[in-house]
Amino acid sequence: MASPTTSLLALILFAIATGLPAAHAFAINGQTVLGIQVSGTLACSATGNLPGNGIAGVLASVTCNVNGTPTVLGVATTNLNGVFVALITNLSGLDPNSLSCAIRVNLPILTCSLLPRNGVLQAKVNLKGTVSQATIGLVADATIGPFSIV
Ligand SMILES: *[C@@H]1O[C@H](CO)[C@@H](O)[C@H](O)[C@H]1NC(C)=O
């Protein structure tokens, strides 16, 4: 028996329930962000780190630990200078105080003979504590630590 009143009540309860995640919004310095923008450089060196010439056209993926499960949340391709900007737009399950994300680049990279042929270059993602305006809205700025081969 769904009278108009109970239907309305159900609708309101549903709206409240689905609105709850906003209470756990991902915020940087009190500013709610809609994404995380991770930028870094991939260089042609023995480790992928600078100094070295940037490597163009390489896929970098950003993988985060989401409730204990490593999950790919974004990909980007390096530009002519080896710079990539990967955007994470699904922040559900991520906590700014215990962010566990890494940039991963698969080897081999045929355009750089200094790198090993096997393995994965991996670098930790670090929030900078600042925000930027991106096309999707306000995003948290992030950089990467040094690459290591895993
Ligand atoms: C966002 O991430 C959560 C947690 O991993 C997942 O359940 C959900 O399906 C994702 N949403 C989209 C739109 O990918």
Query: What is the mean pLDDT of the segment spanning 67-87?
Result: 97
Mutate to test the pocket of ligand 1, among 71, 87, 91, 92 (most ligand atoms within 8 A of CB): 92
Ligand 1: distance of its center to the CA of 92 in Å?
Answer: 6
Q: Could you give the 3-state DSSP secondary structure of residue 16?
A: helix
Which residues, 6 or more positions from 120, have their beta carbon under 8 angstroms from its beta carbon?
A: 104, 105, 106, 107, 149, 150
Q: Which amino acid is at 13?
A: L
Query: What is the mean pLDDT of the segment spanning 109-124?
Result: 98
Sign, Cα dihedral of 64, 69, 72, 90:
negative
Task: Name the closest-CA residue to atom 2, ligand 1.
Answer: 92
Give the pLDDT confidence score for residue 4 in this predicted structure: 58
Query: What is the mean pLDDT of the segment spanning 49-63?
Result: 98
> What are the helix and strand counts (H, E) for the chain?
1, 12
Mutate to test the pocket of ligand 1, among 66, 90, 100 (most ligand atoms within 8 A of CB): 90
Give the pLDDT confidence score for residue 25 in this predicted structure: 84
